[in-house]
């Protein structure tokens, strides 16, 4: 392939690329998890996944685009036959991260991703929160504990209080690359020792983050705000089940329609604008922090759940943004 490029003028290279673009079989491949491709058992959870992806597929098709849905690890699909691949329900990546990383690097040379590869790499690791904090976005008080760190959990919490102004005796420990609350622990000052073994096991293999526990997430919930191409579309309120601190439905959390106020919308849009580039789709998870300010829990611009089933017209907004930004000149 490299030899093919040698000796070609810029005009000839562009001509060949244009020919290749017109021979593409698909405009967009919607990416999912292999467990959600023709599942034999359709639990309510899986039905929601299928509905979410179907709304996106139909919205893209209504824009006149050639679309198909594939598992990201489909061994038979030729990724060079699609102009773009749109991340949606690829929710097994964090359990297969080494395999996924290899696939991402390889496939990025065959097609283009939405959101961009650069944004995906930036957002997949929660160190991005520090970048946003440096840009002026309020985040929970956080200490990053790098892979291979020799500190103890007891020392880490002590340093968090001394150097990072932690004021509570309750902490959240979780990996920097994770999802669905994987290896997320609520730790009290008086039970740190009981978590030392799992902390040492985890930090030997991956970077971790220690955060101040946010009481208002339990009391008031967490707001997820969907922003497409910089435009707010809809929001939901996630509430943890009684006795738990995790708002994810995997752990019994519930989701409710929510109408945010202008201050919340402005905050969410300012978070998106602080990203390295404007994402086509984003979910901004916000909450009132322990000091009473709006703060960012997560900026999800890789594979967030976007609750299109609660606002199907938002799928049309996303599809139009994809067509206008990437495909309007090629179809």
Question: pLDDT-derived band of residue 207, with 50, 70 and 90 as boundaries?
Answer: very high
Domain 216-301, CATH homologous superfamily name and number: ATP-grasp fold, B domain (3.30.470.20)
pLDDT at residue 311 is higher than 60: yes
Q: Which fold has domain 141-212?
A: Dna Ligase; domain 1 (3.30.1490)
The pLDDT confidence band at residue 23, using thresholds 50, 70 and 90, is low
Which pLDDT does position 182 carry in this prediction? 75
How far is it, in rounded angstroms, from Cα 129 to Cα 119? 13
SS3 187: strand
Note the pLDDT of residue 169.
92
Instruction: Check pLDDT > 80 for residue 180.
Output: no
Of the candidates 209, 171, 200, which has an alpha carbon nearest to the alpha carbon of residue 290? 171
Tokens representing 108 are 């990025």
pLDDT over threshold 60, residue 331: no
Residue 235: CB partners within 8 Å, gap ≥ 6? 223, 224, 225, 226, 258, 259, 260, 264
Q: Where in the chain is the domain with CATH 3.30.470.20?
A: 216-301
Q: Residues of CATH 3.30.1490.20 domain(s) within the chain?
A: 141-212
Alpha carbons within 13 angstroms on the beta-carbon side of residue 207 total 13
The pLDDT tens digits of the residues spanning 253-283 come to 789 999 999 999 999 999 999 999 999 999 9
Position 109 scores a pLDDT of 96
């Amino acid at each position: 392939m490299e030899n093919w490029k040698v000796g070609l003028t810029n005009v000839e290279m562009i001509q060949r690329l244009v020919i290749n673009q017109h021979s593409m079989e698909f405009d967009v491949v919607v990416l999912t998890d292999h467990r959600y491709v023709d599942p034999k058992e359709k639990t309510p959870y899986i039905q929601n996944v299928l509905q979410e992806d179907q709304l996106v597929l139909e919205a893209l098709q209504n824009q006149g685009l050639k679309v198909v849905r594939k598992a990201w690890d489909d061994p038979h699909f030729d990724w060079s036959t699609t102009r773009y691949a749109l991340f949606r329900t690829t929710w097994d990546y964090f359990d297969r991260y080494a395999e996924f990383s290899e696939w991402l690097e390889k496939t990025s040379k065959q097609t283009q991703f939405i959101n961009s590869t650069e944004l995906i790499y930036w957002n997949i690791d929660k160190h991005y929160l520090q970048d946003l904090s440096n840009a002026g976005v309020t985040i929970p008080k956080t200490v990053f504990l790098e892979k291979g760190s020799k500190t103890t959990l007891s020392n880490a919490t002590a340093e968090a209080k001394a150097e990072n102004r932690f004021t509570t005796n309750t902490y959240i420990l979780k990996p920097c690359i994770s999802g669905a609350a994987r290896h997320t622990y609520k730790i009290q000052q008086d039970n740190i020792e009981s978590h030392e073994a799992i902390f040492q096991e985890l930090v030997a293999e991956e970077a971790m983050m220690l955060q101040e526990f946010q009481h208002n997430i339990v009391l008031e919930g967490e707001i997820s705000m969907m922003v497409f191409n910089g435009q707010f579309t809809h929001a939901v309120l996630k509430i943890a089940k009684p006795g738990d601190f995790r708002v994810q439905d995997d752990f019994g959390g519930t989701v409710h329609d929510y109408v945010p106020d202008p201050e919340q919308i402005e905050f969410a849009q300012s978070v998106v604008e602080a990203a390295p580039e404007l994402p086509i789709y984003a979910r901004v998870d916000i909450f009132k922090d322990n000091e009473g300010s709006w703060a960012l829990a997560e900026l999800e611009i890789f594979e967030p759940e976007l609750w299109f089933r609660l606002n199907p017209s938002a799928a049309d907004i996303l599809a139009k943004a994809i067509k206008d930004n990437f495909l309007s000149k090629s179809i």
